[in-house]
Structure 1
Amino acid sequence: MAADDAALSALARGLDQLARLLAEIAPDQLDRPTPCEDWTLTDLVDHVVEGPTRAAKMMRGEEVDWSVPAPAAGADPARAFRAGADDLLAAWRDAGEGGSPMSPDWQSAEIAVHTYDLATTIGHPTGDLDAEVAERGLAFMQANLTADNRGGAFLPEQPAPDDADAYQRLAAFAGRTVPSGGGR
């Protein structure tokens, strides 16, 4: 599948904003629980930082074992994430017209769900994030994620508050409990 420019642009913006959020993390926040069941902020950061690197490997046809825990993100998770994000975007450029069996919208969904998780955990409002990233991710998930294929990564869909922003709607679809008014 060849990726369209709008999908790649949204993915690039999603990667950029997640890198900025990673840079906002204070050391005293790392033990906080996250909306990801059983994960602390440290666990989430490790997963998020490794995600683009693993996705780039998959795009290049390399085997990736997602069941293996992500290695520690290190002292500068924003920088480590940025390196993986740049590698992922390079893999998309290298795929060119031949395309990839993956979709940038699938990757935007993954990035946007964890952007919600991270923002919520550190107290950053989701209402000021790039809504198109979450909207594209939500559309992809609604078209592809069913009750039968949610696996262990996604709990059953939860109700979104009436005033939910794009990230809150995506998080609720992914099984997160989203409090009312939390995105502002």
Structure 2
Amino acid sequence: MDTTTDPRAQYLRALDQLEKLVARITPEMLERPTPCPAYDLRALLGHTVGGVHQLAYLGEGGRWVDVAGATGPIADGDWADALVRARERMVRAWADDALLAAPVHGPGAVMPGRDALDAWVMETVTHTWDLTRAVDPTGVLDEELGRAALATAHRVMPDAPRGGPVPFGPVRPAPADADPTTELATWLGRKA
């Protein structure tokens, strides 16, 4: 596998980081607020695990608009296992190297599978930052993943206009000492 043009390895690395964090979440934490005002921790977990299923569905030949971006009910103590099951589905769905160049029906456009995977790296790294702020605000995230996701965000997300079909708030300033993942979060409208 050529990881310079094959984002599957990077996506799995992003899921590794996410899984370590989700394994630390207890049922008592699930109502904590997150940097996403519409989501408490439970709802953001549902959105994030649902996103892994969406990516799997694309790899299986489905269209992004045909599957919900959130999970159904998951027991409070089952989030880590739900993420593992979603990951297993995604790995099976994207096993064929030909999918990297094949067109998939992603968010708002038909794109090569490789581009969809890049977008999901960005999504997963961003939501890992969000979840980290709710679980362990001092947690340190993988800087290489943060840089890669930030580069994708700069490439695919305009700094303006935001809102409407662009589901992110205005770019916010990042602190001078911000790590790459915090820079990503502020580019996508989060307050650091």
Give the TM interval when normalised to the shorter protein.
0.7 to 0.9
Aligned to 2:130: 117
Q: Which has the higher contact order (CA 8 A, sep 6+)?
A: 1
Q: Counterparts in 2 of 1:8-157, with a 5 A limit? A: 8-65=8-65, 69-74=70-75, 75-96=77-98, 99-100=101-102, 101-102=112-113, 103=115, 104-127=117-140, 129-146=141-158, 147-148=160-161, 151=165, 153-157=167-171
Decide whether the 8 Å contact of 2:162 with 2:168 is kept in 1: no
For normalisation by structure 1, the TM-score amounts to 0.84
Unmatched tracts of structure 1, length 5 or more: 179-184
| RMSD after superposition | 2.2
Aligned to 2:183: 169
The Cα shift of 1:84 comes to 1.0
Structure 1's 125 and 21: CA in aligned 2 closer, same or farther, altered over 3 A?
A: same
Q: Return the alpha-carbon distance in structure 2 between the equivalents of residues 97 and 40 of structure 1.
A: 34
For normalisation by structure 2, the TM-score amounts to 0.81
Decide whether the 8 Å contact of 1:158 with 1:173 is kept in 2: yes
Unmatched tracts of structure 2, length 5 or more: 103-111
Could you tell me which of 2, 5, 11 is aligned with 2:3? 5
State the one-letter code of the partner of 2:189.
G
The Cα shift of 1:91 comes to 2.4
Structure 1's 50 and 73: CA in aligned 2 closer, same or farther, altered over 3 A?
A: farther
Identify, as 1 or 2, the structure richer in strand. Answer: 2
Q: Return the alpha-carbon distance in structure 2 between the equivalents of residues 113 and 72 of structure 1.
A: 23
State the one-letter code of the partner of 2:155.
A
Identify, as 1 or 2, the structure richer in helix. Answer: 1
* Alignment deviations for residues 128-156 of structure 1 (CA, whole Å, 9 cap, x no partner): x2212221111011011112466352111
* Aligned sequence identity (%): 31
